[in-house]
Chains A and B, each alone.
Chain A
Amino acid sequence: MSEKEIKNLEAIFEARIARDEKIEPKDWMPEKYRQTHIRQISQHAHSEVVGMLPEGNWITRAPSLRRKAALLAKVQDEAGHGLYLYSACETLGISRDELYEQLHSGKAKYSSIFNYPTVTWADMGAIGWLVDGAAIINQVPLCNTSFGPYARAMVRVCKEESFHQRQGYEIMLTLCKGTPEQKAMAQDALNRWWWPSLMMLGPTDAASVHTEQSMKWKLKRKTNDELRQQFIDQTVPQADLLGLTIPDPDLKFNEKTGHYDFGAIDWDEFWQVVKGHGPCNKERMNARVSAWENGAWVRDAAMAYAEKQENKKVAKAS
């Protein structure tokens, strides 16, 4: 293809996105679009799968059978999200094994929030409320993103995430209506998860590398700082309703802007965790890598068996 032809295709492509048309896997797309989408969708898929670990940590210790079942179902939903997202990513011409390889080698990232430990039952509430809450704010705009398979996966994912958020909030509410010990457990969880949740909305706009291109492709519709403000404005009244205190002495409603002002985020901590030095980075990667390695003989056996069955069928037919 000549350079002129490529330019022409690119112009048609950008115009389609501008008209809000969906790009499908078989359509022509610029290489950069493909690579950016592989990066973002796989990062999202990895986050779902690594995200199963901190909550999975409480399945055997859930305080009631009802909570145990709900937690299992939630972690299972996250596995399902991982599955749709890996499938969406595979339509861009990369295999699931390659994607796992990128995760296990540390080449691909996942959401840093999952590198924090879950140390009490209240963390199951705080994660649902805050982490799924922040994820929804990040993800609702993606239901209209330009790449069809990603947009469709996000519609399903967002529905379930909002269910998770309500469920998490309900765990917090139960704790806050409970004994002083339970309420203290809820407050402690909020203290630990608040700042990492704010960091989930991404680095400040000034430090964010991908925003401009992503806006054009509708991978992003609002900046990180706008999303963060939206999250805070939505969450503060919910904390009030629980009777919990957000661990930020500078948090204050600003009559002029109609938004909450908030204190400085510790971006050093953010970058430390992103770079692999958070409290559980090593444990999370070890868990994923050992699940994969310990499962190798099982996957090999399943493949060998399927081949044998196929051969039997062929032998019968001939």
Chain B
Amino acid sequence: MKNENLYNYILGIADNSLILGQRLGELCGHGPNLETDIAMTNINLDLIGQARSYYQYAGKLTGQDKSEDDIAFLRLEREYRNVLLVEQPNTHFGYVMVRQFLFDMFHFMLMEKLQHSKDETLVAIANKGIKEVSYHKRFSSDWIKRLGDGTAESNAKIQEAINDLWRFTDEFFQLTEADKAMVEVGIGVDVSKLKEDYYKKVSEVLEEATLQTPENKYFTKGGKEGLHTEHMGYILAELQYMQRTFPNMTW
């Protein structure tokens, strides 16, 4: 493939939306109330919409006429490039919201920078995406404040989720080979430069929510290189079930 680095760079962004959407899809109809259910389905729809735009673009780059579904459904686990955070389970609503919040804060900064990419298609996707993601960020930040500064029980639950998921945040700022190549030509975003600002902004929200920012300095990574947690295989088993069972059919 001529544009292999660009292809991999795009998947690194798209797979986050796809896999987080897949996790949110498990929750539809099971939320704490109808309003939250509807709002989180909106977020899920945005994420799937974004993933589709990226995959359609990536499909064109392969030169083999691959469809969005070929790319979304028919890769091996080691070929998915999403960060580990988005594949973490819906342990309870606190985990769902913390996962969303930690991701949205990063996602927003990424979209902001991607709007200035030299790649027109990515700019177009980012221009549309940033409006959606800024809503996601507001929604999840508001929930972090509500749950942090709600009851003693909610504060404890949300703090537990933050402490537990914190170790996945550093991965956002790691660059793969494809990322580096794309940064060099002005297409990709140098995510390492977002790190300081990210932790500052996250801490501000946590503080307002009367929550502690973890001091943990030990982080885990691997998703961007295709090395996932044990959850990933089960996510893909559901995601790929139809396409693997009934190959080459139109739905």
Contact = CB atoms under 8 A, between A and B. Distances in A.
B242 A301 contact: no
B105 to A, nearest CB: 20
Nearest to B68: A65
A49 B239 CA distance: 24
B76 interface: no
Contacts of B145: 305
B31 interface: yes
Nearest to B243: A63
A304 interface: yes
B55 A65 contact: yes
Interface in A46-73: 49, 52-53, 56, 59-69, 72-73
B34 A69 contact: no
Interface stretch (B22-30, B77-85, B117-125): B22-30
Given A60-B22, A72-B48, A305-B149, A294 B249 contact: no
B90 to A, nearest CB: 10
Contacts of A175: 251
Given A60-B238, A65-B55, A67-B251, A79 B32 contact: no
A298 interface: yes
Nearest to B18: A65
A147 B80 CA distance: 54
Interface string A211-229: 0000000000000000000
Contact of A79 (B41, B51, B153, B239): B41
B99 to A, nearest CB: 15
Contact of A73 (B45, B238, B251): B45
A65 B150 contact: no
B185 to A, nearest CB: 29
Contacts of B219: none
A171 B28 CA distance: 21
Interface in B32-59: 32-38, 41-42, 44-45, 48-49, 51-52, 55
Contacts of A80: 38
A75 B25 CA distance: 11
Interface string B62-85: 000000110011000000000000
B151 A59 contact: no
Give the interface centre of B49, B149, B250 by most chain A CB atoms within 10 Å: B250
Interface stretch (A19-27, A177-185, A246-254): A177-185
A139 to B, nearest CB: 19
A209 B37 CA distance: 36
Contacts of B34: 49, 79, 82-83, 86
B157 interface: yes
B154 interface: yes
Interface string A270-312: 0000000000000000010011101111111111110010000
A72 B250 contact: no
A295 B93 contact: yes
B28 A301 contact: no
A63 B74 CA distance: 11
Contacts of B217: none
Given A63-B251, A295-B31, A76 B38 contact: yes
Contacts of A65: 48, 51-52, 55, 68-69, 72
B48 A291 contact: no
Nearest to A171: B251
Contacts of B149: 305, 308
A174 interface: yes
B135 interface: no
A75 B249 contact: no
A121 interface: yes
B59 to A, nearest CB: 12
B27 to A, nearest CB: 9
Contacts of A295: 31-33, 93
Contacts of B42: 76
Given A65-B68, A72-B44, A305-B145, A287 B33 contact: no
B2 interface: no
B147 interface: yes
Contact of B153 (A86, A290, A301): A301
Contacts of A294: 32, 92-93
B30 A298 contact: no
Given A76-B42, A83-B38, A291-B29, A297 B153 contact: yes
A232 B6 CA distance: 54
A64 B70 CA distance: 9
Given A179-B249, A287-B30, A298-B32, A61 B38 contact: no
18 contacts: A59-B28, A61-B239, A63-B251, A64-B73, A65-B52, A69-B48, A72-B48, A76-B45, A178-B249, A178-B251, A181-B246, A287-B29, A291-B31, A294-B32, A297-B151, A304-B151, A304-B154, A305-B149
Interface of B: 22, 25-26, 28-38, 41-42, 44-45, 48-49, 51-52, 55, 68-69, 72-73, 92-93, 145-147, 149-151, 153-154, 157, 238-239, 241-243, 246, 249-251
Q: Which 5 pairs from chain A and chain B are nearest by CB?
A: A295-B32, A301-B150, A301-B154, A63-B242, A52-B29
